Amino acid sequence: MLNNLFAKLIYGPIIFLSLFFLNSCSDDEVKIIMVATSLNEVVDQEYMHSKQKDDFFINYGGSLSLARRVENNQKKIGAVIFASNTSIEILINKQIIDESSIKLLAKNSLVLATKKNNRTYEDFLGTIHKNNKEKIVIADKNIAPAGKYSQQVLDQLFSEEIQKRKVISSGDISYVSNLLIYNENYYGIIYKTEAIKNDLEVLYEFPSTLHDDIEYKLGILNNNNNLSINNFIDRLTSDRVLNNLSELGFKIEK
């Protein structure tokens, strides 16, 4: 029931807004930027202060899910900011995106997080092997890169038997974060930035050698004819925005 409630709260508005924007644009209007959910704090802030915000919309979601939607209907989408190279490569392989426009925006890391209750990583290791209520929650690897990265960590650290008993895979990174906020029996593998944003307890930061590089890349689609979208993408690579990203826990390479 809890899972269904959060799915309705989180995905309902996203789906509604997406359908509204897609249906409200004429066939020749490019009006949408697709953005990984984990960047919503910074992107929202810039969008609300943009003098050109009436010229385009931001649509958030899991990067893999967004990439497939762009692949199937790219006419009204002008740019993307995704949290995995795989998502970007889907668009490159379909010749949907201008490869020369792709830039690295930031990097992230994975942590084990939980609702604040003075637990430790050692507590987690001790309890996760027992038959109790504690679970490990990760994003769905079929819609969100965070799920793929998290699964890579699990495969290296835990047996298949433990994964079958203890792992819940569902939703995108925001969905997982919300589950952790409202359930003290859950441990989650999420981005470090998500843990900071939601005031969750970070028990452990996983070495980057356990998973693929978590890279946020942005790019302009070949069919984009919206100058306001180009200007907004340029704005996101300014020193001011990069500093904001750094303060939120993202890794910036200048």
For the chain, which domains are there? 2-107+213-247 (3.40.190.10), 111-210 (3.40.190.10)
Does residue 144 have a pLDDT over 50? yes
pTM of the model: 0.83
User: Whole-number mean pLDDT of the chain?
Assistant: 89
Residue 128 contacts residue 134 (beta carbons within 8 Å):
yes
Under the banding of pLDDT at 50, 70 and 90, the label for residue 29 is confident
State how far the Cα of 168 lies from the Cα of 163, in Å rounded to an integer: 9
Closest to 199 (Cα-Cα) out of 114, 137, 118, 139: 114
In the three-class reduction of DSSP (H, G, I as helix; E, B as strand; rest coil), residue 217 is classed as: strand
Residue found by looking up tokens 């907004």 in the block: 232
Please tell me the predicted confidence (pLDDT) of residue 101.
Answer: 92
